[in-house]
Structure 1
């Protein structure tokens, strides 16, 4: 094979692949890189065969980028009705790689990152594709946490309550500037929080959007991926996040998602579909969408701070440009919370 990409120890992993699968001649292609988990496609005879997912370079442990946890969630969901990649091994052996990794069968298809990706799906299939995303979300929320062996994901308190505490704490810890809108919206979210006892609870994916799914050419959802942020809690947080992504300006997230003008159903249609398929009574969607926008504002503030302090110096981004939009996102969240 040609020189392996950074993060992929071809010698050590190659030896493991040969011992495990009897194949020594393979290629490696980078599927995704950055500060999230790194993903590589392994090809055999020029065709994709497997996928390896590992923490980012420089990862020092901790709960973030826990690929073993992510792999265990996907493995547990196999056969549950949730479309997930087929996990073959979760490897935590420093003699193979200095960090844990998940080794999976390659799942055919592509995520939706750009308008071109969306347009590759036949026009007559696009609405069904969108409704298929909602169906996949409802399938996740229908999983019996105990039956699939994921009861240890439960934590005390509601998911919203925990995340409000976590994100405002992170902003206060790292921010170099005043963030009045983030704090104002935090307080309104805390005061207006729906009663967790009145909300359906289950597995919440945490980052459910089109670029975290793999689609067949006809638009069928072949797999839901990127389970890094998965938790047990109020599942309507996922629906609110999905809806929020359809309205948040792309320049504030750097993530393109199809909108109704691109042939995507309206928010109301998506909510109706979710309610019909899941059987859950949908309520407080504006609140959950506002919560999602507020989280995005917190994340963006963190990116701004790291850029401004030179901790993301390998990225050619202007800190001030990256910092723009934090208050706009928080303000959009506040507008949703103040809707009659």
Structure 2
């Protein structure tokens, strides 16, 4: 039987018994992965080597699609046969005898995310531009997926994605926040007034959090897997491109996320947009609007992470609550700045 200690969120007895019964491994250990600050992700090791990954909702989670790991696991499983690189889902478990919440159990994917300049430096300089364009090519592959052909038809919802998410994220922000940040409502109102018509936008799978630290890279910069599908929805796919582009111009201190920029060997905004149009066949119009929307949504998400951290609902992740909470107001102001820029 597996050991009796594990990070918060894992019962080593019940989960260990399930792993032993299902996969024959009788002695496993668990470590917290740093990828993602919402759903909790753990590496499951056998003989000190990564073997599997377990993903579960945050501690204290009581519902809502944003942390629905069964839904996330189903999306990854559906994308497995496509051109989109994803981790191999083994089981989607919903059994209170094993864990009080559903969880996804998948193969461990080798490689590393890009969280820091040191991570980016692991990729040879000669491969950096190709790596960046590979991120865009992979995004285009996601957007080209036929939703109905992969069995995700039921994820479609009435109305446009932006319309739904403006309503949803503002509601969640107002419900969870313990601070007064009026800029969130101010930006919401501008985005609602200037929203492009959904009927004029290409509709497909929108990842919802597409950035370099949600990808697993091989040493040569090849993308082994795209991870963190918890915010995925069917809707205007340019929300992903806008988010990706916005990360190139938003100060690191506002996002707490380091991303490579043109001065680090990354292509320019214009080059990335041109590559996306070439690979996807989709005209990338109103990119600044989608970038501003992404910054506003990120501000709402960060406020949620901050609140869960200060209320002890994020397990024992080593992450400073004040760091998470800082920059929410600045992100909202950044969204207003982007809206005023020319495409």
Task: Give yes or no for TM over 0.5.
Answer: yes
Report matched runs for 1:293-312 at 5 Å: 293-302=295-304, 311=311
Checking the alignment, whether the CA contact within 8 Å between 2:112 and 2:216 is kept in structure 1 is yes
Question: Which of these residues, 226, 229, 234, is aligned with residue 227 of structure 1?
Answer: 229
Q: Which whole-Å CA distance do the structure 2 matches of 1:94 and 1:177 have between them?
A: 35
> 1:175: Cα distance to partner?
5.0
Question: Secondary structure at 1:139's aligned position in 2?
Answer: helix
Structure-2 residue corresponding to 1:116 = 118
Structure-2 residue corresponding to 1:93 = 95
Residue 23 of structure 1 pairs with residue 31 of structure 2: no
> 1:323: Cα distance to partner?
5.8
- Structure with more relative contact order (C-alpha pairs < 8 Å, separation 6 or more): 2
Distance 1:28 1:161, change over 3 A: same
Residue 104 of structure 1 pairs with residue 94 of structure 2: no
> 1:172: Cα distance to partner?
3.9
Question: Which of these residues, 162, 165, 168, is aligned with residue 166 of structure 1?
Answer: 168
Q: Which whole-Å CA distance do the structure 1 matches of 2:97 and 2:273 have between them?
A: 48
Q: Which whole-Å CA distance do the structure 2 matches of 1:265 and 1:81 have between them?
A: 23
Question: Secondary structure at 1:50's aligned position in 2?
Answer: strand
Moved more, 8-17 or 141-150: 8-17
Distance 1:137 1:328, change over 3 A: same
Checking the alignment, whether the CA contact within 8 Å between 1:34 and 1:56 is kept in structure 2 is no
Q: What count of residue pairs does the alignment treat as equivalent?
A: 336
> 1:98: Cα distance to partner?
1.7
Question: Secondary structure at 2:115's aligned position in 1?
Answer: coil
Moved more, 28-37 or 292-301: 28-37
> 1:176: Cα distance to partner?
5.8
Structure-1 residue corresponding to 2:152 = 150
Distance 1:66 1:312, change over 3 A: same
Distance 1:4 1:206, change over 3 A: same
Q: Which whole-Å CA distance do the structure 1 matches of 2:305 and 2:44 have between them?
A: 31
Q: Which whole-Å CA distance do the structure 1 matches of 2:228 and 2:286 have between them?
A: 26
Report matched runs for 1:176-191 at 5 Å: 179-191=181-193
* CA offsets 1:84-109 (integer angstroms, 9 cap, x no match): 00001111111122221111111110
> 1:312: Cα distance to partner?
5.5
Structure-2 residue corresponding to 1:272 = 274
Question: Which of these residues, 260, 263, 273, is aligned with residue 262 of structure 2?
Answer: 260
Checking the alignment, whether the CA contact within 8 Å between 2:243 and 2:291 is kept in structure 1 is yes
Structure-2 residue corresponding to 1:72 = 74
Distance 1:40 1:167, change over 3 A: closer
Q: CA RMSD in A?
A: 2.3
Moved more, 137-146 or 296-305: 296-305
> 1:198: Cα distance to partner?
1.1
* CA offsets 1:111-133 (integer angstroms, 9 cap, x no match): 11111111011111111111111
Instruction: Structure 2: state its 5+ residue gaps.
Output: none
